[in-house]
Structure 1
Amino acid sequence: MPIDHFSDLNIAVLLPCFNEGKSIASVVLGFRKALPRARIFVYNNNSSDDTAEQAARAGATVVPSRRQGKGNVVRQMFADIDADIYLMADGDGTYDPSAAPRMVQTLLDDRADMVVGTRRNVTQDAGRNGHAIGNRLFNSVYKTLFGNEFTDIFSGYRAFTRRFAKSFPASSAGFEIETEMSVHASTLRLPVSEVEFDYGRRMEGAPSKLSTFRDGFRILRMMGMLMKETRPFVFFGYVSVALFAASVFFMAPVIRDYLATGLVDRLPTWMLAMTLLLGAMMTFIAGVVLDSVARGRAEQKRIHYLSIAPSRGEQFRPGTTSLFDRRQDTTPTSSPAQRGADQR
């Protein structure tokens, strides 16, 4: 691919980093080679090592990010930087910089708002089986809850249009941010694509920041919260069905005894069953009402998304005229005598 293939695009490479001093220089140089005209920003998230020094020495623009957590860093990056195309990756060296031109080209060719770099060897994540099992499990849960547009919702290697970056709410604080990005695209039904590449290993002496159980719980909680916010009817429908089932469980023996004896001997059990039944009804009604609210919020997000001009290099070309101007030029004009006759 020619070096100046993207010369008319303003591309920003965004690298959120926390203690990546051992790898960040090679990552920056890799993206500099892959996208020579791109601006490279390293957001240093309170690193205690020499991440900032190594990144600056490699030629990146280093920006401090004081609020801890990858989600907080992404929120700051999208707010700070203006570009036509954003390319986000991690600074640990596991994402291949040479795949960056392919991701940008896919974004342009597919007219997509987000391209996700899916990891071919993600199941070999530093030999940690817990991460591999978690990836398969959460990807399956995501497909069930939100749709099957993605095969790797946890990939941090992504390309975005400006329209996506500036309309993304980014409420997550940590590693759940990739899941939220995927849900945002699924909720607004944005055009997305995927590019597969080989997933590397972290450098020796650079331990992973992920915790299998802690981050897994956070991601699961984020999925529940996003489901409640974006699909409240389904969320509260599940809760209502559970309460109704519990109500029937406690109600059945009381009704059986009543039909046999004509007496209600277990009054507390009956009261509990009725309370659960009322709870199921109220939860169902809440789901119906909140579903209307969620649809209104989705419409507002969509309107805000559409208010941001698409920026995939669509620029005004010198020598061209607008459709309105061309119509004006082709409109037949009348002679002065005819115009005088018309006035009379």
Structure 2
Amino acid sequence: MRSPEGQSIAAIVPCYNEELSIGQVVRDLRKTIPAMDVYVYDNMSTDRTADVAREAGAIVRRETSRGKGNVVRRAFADVDADIYVLIDGDDTYAVEDLPGMIDTLREGPLDHVLGVRRAVESTAYRPGHELGNRGFNLLVSRVFGSSVSDMLSGYRVFSRRFVKSFPALSREFEIETELTVHAMSLRVPQAEYPVGFQDRAAGSESKLRTYHDGFRILSLIIGLARHERPLFFYGFVGTLLSIVALVLGLPLIVEFFSTGLVPRFPTAVLAVGVMVVAFLSWTIGLILDGVLKSRREFSRLNYLSHSAP
């Protein structure tokens, strides 16, 4: 369905056991933007999530591979629209902020608008989640050189060319991190927009496991740093190894020039070996940096092959 501006809009709502909230989310989305198609992707729910969403007027599809990342990958491949909205089905995000996010995307024109959560209830954020989110925001901003205020937000608006050029490799909740880093790496025009954030519906529980998913997200950040910033990553590893080699080898060098002897030969061999590995790490970083340039050129051409928003 097309909006009055002539652009089709599709909302993608990943769901797993959200029977208590999904109906309200779908009704709010349809009321806020009547021209928008609402796609609810049921991720193997064991309750009436799919039925409730269908009764509320959503287009319900089923994704049998468990994990939010799998849902987003499937939805981005299947749904065709000019503007895409990604929002969780737990009724924690303020749908009334959506028109402002879409207007921001259009007026830019931009490819990505990130909904930055502003808690309207003191209990909306679990302490561990808020602290972890702040830490990840700082880490990603430093590593990838672009500031982000809420990288784990599940409320976003995208252009068609962003969605169709996004590889979507993640399986679970680390998909938000992948979306954020993809936007940074491709340097697409983007903006942040403050959105309301409230408690989940009474009786429902968050699917995010603080430590398990936190470690998965951290592992993804490290992996993305290795692929998207190889010179930084392998240069850092090489520098650490060279420091270790110097700590092990300098005392031996000083003693050799003083006495002409190498008193701890195994340590000398170890120091030389560690330094060789350090040089190899630097070399790998330089080679992969050249490969990265070619890969980014290809990604950019793929991105530009789709029409502007």
Please give the range of the TM-score, normalised by the shorter of the 2 chains. over 0.9
**Contact map agreement 2:11 2:36 (CA 8 A) in 1:** yes
Q: CA deviation at 1:182?
A: 1.1
Aligned twin of 2:108: 110
What is the SS of the residue equivalent to 2:197?
coil
**Contact map agreement 1:71 1:177 (CA 8 A) in 2:** yes
Q: CA deviation at 1:41?
A: 0.3
Indicate which of 154, 157, 171 corresponds to 2:155. Answer: 157
Assess, with a 3 A threshold, how the Cα gap between structure 1 residues 122 and 287 changes in structure 2: closer, same or farther.
farther
Give the whole-Å Cα distance in 1 for the aligned partners of 2:121 and 2:216.
20
TM-score (norm 2): 0.96
Deviation string for 1:264-296 (max 9, x for gaps)?
A: 010100000000000000110000000000111
Indicate which of 92, 104, 113 corresponds to 2:90. Answer: 92
RMSD (CA atoms): 1.5
TM-score (norm 1): 0.87
* Structure of higher CA gyration radius: 1
What are the residue-to-residue correspondences of 1:312-331 with 2, within 5 Å? 312=309
Assess, with a 3 A threshold, how the Cα gap between structure 1 residues 125 and 158 changes in structure 2: closer, same or farther.
farther
Aligned twin of 2:287: 289
Give the whole-Å Cα distance in 2 for the aligned partners of 1:127 and 1:117.
15
Q: Does 1:300 align with 2:298?
A: yes
Aligned twin of 2:56: 58
Q: What amino acid sits opposite 1:86 in the alignment?
A: Y
**Contact map agreement 1:119 1:196 (CA 8 A) in 2:** yes
What are the residue-to-residue correspondences of 1:15-34 with 2, within 5 Å? 15-34=13-32
**Contact map agreement 1:123 1:131 (CA 8 A) in 2:** no
Indicate which of 140, 146, 149 corresponds to 1:148. Answer: 146
Give the whole-Å Cα distance in 2 for the aligned partners of 1:125 and 1:46.
29
Q: CA deviation at 1:124?
A: 4.9
Q: What amino acid sits opposite 2:109 in the alignment?
A: R
Give the whole-Å Cα distance in 2 for the aligned partners of 1:128 and 1:187.
30
**Contact map agreement 2:85 2:157 (CA 8 A) in 1:** yes
Aligned twin of 1:271: 269
Indicate which of 200, 203, 213 corresponds to 1:202. Answer: 200
**Contact map agreement 2:121 2:197 (CA 8 A) in 1:** no
Assess, with a 3 A threshold, how the Cα gap between structure 1 residues 217 and 124 changes in structure 2: closer, same or farther.
farther
Give the whole-Å Cα distance in 2 for the aligned partners of 1:149 and 1:85.
24
**Contact map agreement 1:124 1:132 (CA 8 A) in 2:** no
Q: Does 1:133 align with 2:123?
A: no
Unaligned runs of 5+ in 2: none
Q: CA deviation at 1:253?
A: 2.2
Assess, with a 3 A threshold, how the Cα gap between structure 1 residues 162 and 5 changes in structure 2: closer, same or farther.
closer
Q: CA deviation at 1:7?
A: 4.8
What is the SS of the residue equivalent to 1:182?
helix
What is the SS of the residue equivalent to 1:120?
strand
What is the SS of the residue equivalent to 2:291?
helix
Give the whole-Å Cα distance in 2 for the aligned partners of 1:158 and 1:111.
15
Q: Does 1:36 align with 2:40?
A: no
Q: Does 1:70 align with 2:68?
A: yes
Q: CA deviation at 1:147?
A: 2.5
